[in-house]
Structure 1
Amino acid sequence: MNEHPIVLRAQHVTKTYGGAHALSDAHLEIRGGEVHCLAGANGSGKSTLIKILSGVESADRGEIEISGDTVTRLSVPGAIARGIQVIYQDLSLFPNLTVAENIAMTSRVAGHTKVVSAASAKRTAAAVQERLGLDLDLDAYVDTLSVAERQLAAICRALANEVRVLFMDEPTTALTWSEVQVLFGVIEVLKADGVAIVFVSHKTEEVFALSDRITVLRNGRVVSEGLVAEFTRDSLVEALIGRRELEERLVSERTGNEDVVLDVAGLGAPGQFRDIAFQARAGEIVGLTGLLGSGRSEIADAIFGIIAFNQGSVTVGGRPIRSGSVKSAIDAGVAYVPSDRLTQGVFLEQSITRNMIASALSRFSTRWGWIRRKAVDAGVSRLVDELHMKVGSPAHPVSSLSGGNQQRVVIAKWLATEPKLLILNGPTVGVDVGSKAAILQILREKAAEGMAVLLISDDVPELVAACHRVLVVRRGRLVDEIRSDDVSVDTLRERTIA
């Protein structure tokens, strides 16, 4: 294989924050026309390295070369002018501007354009879109787009300014499998044009499908690097977390307890879903999957009382749940881990302790409403141990934790209520492979103890690893049920997108 030219090189990069080393003598070589995966657990230093290479942060020590030129001081405008851009998870688009205006924005700023021309922006956007073979509505406002369309618009924006190195932070986190395939096709076009793609991903399957090279960071240091062919899945996981962690189908057989915990009968909500009927039994993990917009999340929201239903019924442990009543669901023994932990799951600046007891205050209070400190300390300590959390002190704010540990705080908050039914919507989105394996193991353990679990996800390997059976939702209807040994990656993908 002929070596592609190095377009970006970093050597001996060190960065500390308050005495803690985010990066220690890190290095990275990026080649044009290649896809380079920057892998690592949450807190490994990936984001810090990307910020330094894109001018957002300055290194304490180290050298950066761009196309052979040593750069002593790099700013964000300077990085963009040299063809280096980053697409962050939030995409940083302007929701109140059109697709064309967003695509042309960076090139306008770089060119110091003072006169705004909608026609010029549209010509720029159309040329970029044609180059990638896309068909976005250039006149649509960004806030009307799907997540996948916004991701493609962000890529177009980078190309409008002659990008040479494009960093993509978790580009497929909120995309369905079919949308991921479209993104992969766009990346192949960029590769063919000589653009270097550096992407961050926690999905090992995705890493092997897309990468030419892999660099693994752990605790701020490069611990492994090379061509993708030099890695196996096991060796990559071992490099990521320092040990081998098997993620294959490890779900145990059900406990044999046939008690029905969740009974959904003829459930319907206007414009959301209809005729939904299924059960979840004690000790069972039931998956609920489907394409984005299929209605899978709305069904979970209705069970927990977030949205109202006008047809059918939901009972938990034989107790009816009132339509649109979260209190009724919690009183019946339902717990819900939402899809967005940062805005819906935790109070970031509050302590780990306060977050963990937030949904179960009555269990830690006297009859007069006083908090029982010893009970709180014992409960939090038990949950920290049970969920294998890495916390300096439960008094520290949740914002001080890695993404994986933040997610475990959300799960702990609801486990503190001792629920009969635990609903989780995308519980491992944005967490590293070690935390993902730990979270799935927690679900298996809770099911083995007799809890019923409803797992909403479009992460096919996750569903295979965790579920006893999987229900497929399409256009607001339950269209398929995949049981036990038939739950496989190929079967799920085939039936989900059919």
Structure 2
Amino acid sequence: MSDLVRMQGIDKRFPGVHALRAVDFDLRAGEVHALMGENGAGKSTLMKCLSGVYQPDGGRILIDGAAVALPNPRAAQDLGIGIIHQELALMRDLNVAQNIWIGREPRLSLGRIDEARLNADAAAIFRGMNVAMDPRAPVAALTIARQQMVEIAKALSFRSRVLIMDEPTAALNDSEIAELFTIIRRLRAEGVGIIYISHKMDEIRRIADRVTVMRDGATVGTVQAAETPIAQIIAMMVGRELVDEPVAIPDLSAAECALELRGITRGREVRDVSFSLKRGEILGFAGLMGAGRTELARAIFGAEPPESGEIIVHGRPVTIRSPADAVRAGIGYLSEDRKHYGLALGMDVRANIALASLARYTDRLGRIDEQELAAVSNRYIDMLSIRTPHDRQEVRLLSGGNQQKVVIAKWLLRDCDILIFDEPTRGIDVGAKAEIHRLLADLAGQGKAIIVISSELPELLRLSHRIAVMCEGRLTGILPGGASQERIMALATRREGMAAE
């Protein structure tokens, strides 16, 4: 296979940050080349250089052996380079064909859009992908997996020979991942070169031909995916052997009950859910997509208040109709979508840490004690090992794992003793994931009561003292932390009317 793309000595600096240090990377036609590294390693910056979002400060990019300039994303598209971001960029109010051809619509006389050709051209792309898709379907009505297919079709509409996929399976279930992999294999067979960014080791072994690992803005090395043990790839990523021991299960028989739910119901999403959570306990929540786990968390936190049932905190019934009520009751919630619901991305680290506790540092005239806030924020930066140049760094510039730590710091500063973590390690690398796991275990050791929702069963088994399982809005059983994946999946696939264990 010939080199389709070659990046040589790519260097990129931002104020105070040397993001890329003489990085080399190449992509062959008809291969899937995985790009891996911890959050902040430089993967996204490198791909933004390839897709025309950033211009390198040094080095050169060659396409088919010829050096090229990529001053903007359109220049990259014109050369056949397409990118599918982790956070999909479709316009939900438009239909499938309109999203694919927006800004390039075929026109009739008098400038009217040729709807028939628009739909026919979109349908032709999906036929080439062997995907059944109605070009007239509204994007808002599609599942995330189907939206992913639209993004791929949009990239292919530019006649992309290079396709960059950034965490494409983050929100997909197993069957949707299998469908995506079928598309990827078909594109590979047609000679498309695919750059695949993921933190999921099992996916890399299934789909990638080669793996390039980056660390601290530099290339560590390139290996053959099929021949390289996962442990070796992880060691290349983190620069050390990574040990993530299962959490020790303490004796909590005499511990105080921190949270109790009795018959919590909200529509068909959460139906008659009851459980208790003790101080010092990590209660994991397992279930298939749509089982109602996130909806239950949002009900507890008051983001979508329950229609019936009772919430008891430290033995006293509480009324939670809003997040403010939950925070006053000592409950903190780390959403699965930290960027939309956990962080103010345009604000700095200091402000984000203080968001839930700002009144403590504000006098009667509304003046904020910035000196005290600086001391507090830096204490949590040190405590949680948040990697940031300073507490005035905009939080949007931090890696995913460090953003997650900022959200945790926010709730620790508020001193919430009941913490709900919804997909706490989604989209973060193995090193940051191990740090988050250790942090959760430490918080439980300090007496915090913790709920962890995760789609990764190994993560729940590693972290949880007990595992609650949901199916179709109901709690179908609670298992000990050492339960098998088979027992968990048996409860996760129960249907309405079957008794819980």
| TM-score, normalised by the number of residues in structure 2 | 0.90
Offset at residue 30 of structure 1 (A): 0.7
Q: Post-superposition shift, 1:194?
A: 2.2
C-alpha distance after superposition, 1:280-311 (max 9, x if no partner): 22222112233333221110011011112122
Residue 157 of structure 2 corresponds to 160
Kept in 1, the 8 Å contact 2:423–2:453? The answer is: yes
Contact 1:15–1:60 under 8 Å retained in 2: yes
How far apart are the structure 1 equivalents of 2:377 and 2:463?
Answer: 26
1:43 corresponds to which of 40, 45, 64: 40
Say whether the 8 Å CA contact 1:305–1:322 is kept in structure 2.
no
Does 1:275 find its partner at 2:258? Answer: no
Give 1:224 shift.
1.7
Paired position in structure 1 for 2:15: 18
The answer to whether the 8 Å contact 2:96/2:138 transfers is yes
Matched to 2:228, the amino acid is F
**Structure 2 counterpart of 1:245, from 238, 242, 247:** 242
Query: Shift of residue 272 of structure 1?
Result: 2.4
- Aligned-partner residue type, residue 166 of structure 2: D
Residue 226 of structure 1, aligned match among 223, 227, 231 = 223
Q: Map 1:441-460; keep pairs closer than 5 Å.
A: 441-460=438-457
- Secondary structure of 1:253's counterpart equals coil
Q: CA deviation at 1:390?
A: 2.0
The structural deviation recorded for 1:43 is 2.1
Q: How far, CA to CA, are the matches of 1:194 and 1:9 in structure 2?
A: 16
- The 8 Å contact of residues 106 and 158 in structure 1, kept in 2 or not, is answered as no
Partner of 1:357: 354
Matching residue's letter, 2:303 = I
Specify the SS of the correspondent of 1:359: helix
Listed one character per residue, the Cα deviations across residues 308-367 of structure 1 (whole Å, up to 9, x for unaligned) are 212211112112231423233222221111222222212233332232222234555679
Q: Residue in 2 aligned with 1:416?
A: 413
Change over 3 Å in CA distance of 1:161–1:107 after alignment to 2: farther
Whole-angstrom distance in 2 between the partners of 1:394 and 1:68: 44
Name the counterpart of 1:254. Answer: 250
Aligned length: 489
Other structure's SS at 1:103 match: helix
Map of 1:317 onto structure 2: 314
Within 5 Å, give how 1:386-465 maps onto structure 2.
386-465=383-462
- What pairs up with 1:104-143 in 2 under 5 angstroms? 104-105=101-102, 116-143=113-140
- Does the 8 Å CA contact 1:107/1:161 hold for their aligned counterparts? no
> Given the alignment of the two structures, is residue 172 of structure 1 paired with residue 161 of structure 2, yes or no?
no
Q: Write the letter of the residue equivalent to 1:238.
A: A
The 1-side partners of 2:265 and 2:155 are apart by: 43
Native 8 Å contact 1:469 1:487 kept in 2: no
Seen in structure 2, the aligned counterparts of structure 1 residues 129 and 296 have a Cα distance that, compared at 3 Å, is same
- Paired with 1:84 and 1:335, the residues of 2 have a C-alpha distance of 42
- For the 8 Å contact 1:264–1:277, the answer to whether it is kept is yes
Partner Cα distance (2:351, 2:63) in 1: 47
More divergent stretch after superposition (27-36 vs 127-136): 127-136
TM-score by length of 1: 0.90
After superposition, the Cα gap between the structure-2 partners of 1:24 and 1:392, relative to the gap in structure 1 and judged at 3 Å, is closer
RMSD over aligned CA atoms reads 2.6
Q: Which amino acid aligns with 1:422?
A: L
- Amino acid corresponding to residue 407 of structure 2 in structure 1: V
Residues 481/210 of structure 1: CA separation in 2 closer, same or farther (3 Å cut): farther
List alignment gaps of at least 5 residues for structure 1. Answer: none
- More displaced stretch, 177-186 vs 265-274: 177-186
Report the AA paired with residue 240 of structure 1.
M
> Is 1:479 the equivalent of 2:476?
yes
One-letter code aligned to 1:406: Q
SS in 2 for 1:251: coil
Aligned mates of 2:197, 2:412 — CA distance in 1: 31
Q: Distance in 2 between matches of 1:392 and 1:58?
A: 23
Is the Cα–Cα contact under 8 Å of residues 105 and 114 in structure 2 kept in the other structure?
A: no
Shift of 1:65: 2.1
Work out whether residues 472 and 480 of structure 1, in 8 Å CA contact, stay in contact via their aligned partners in 2: yes
- The question of whether the paired residues in 2 share the 8 Å contact of 1:264 and 1:276 is answered with yes
Distance 1:351 1:50, change over 3 A: closer
Aligned partners of 1:414, 1:269: CA distance in 2, in Å?
26
Alignment partners' CA distance in 2, 1:221 and 1:286: 39
Distance in 1 of aligned mates of 2:225 and 2:296: 40
8 A contact 1:87–1:167 mirrored in 2: yes
How far apart, CA to CA, are the structure 2 residues paired with 1:162 and 1:491?
47
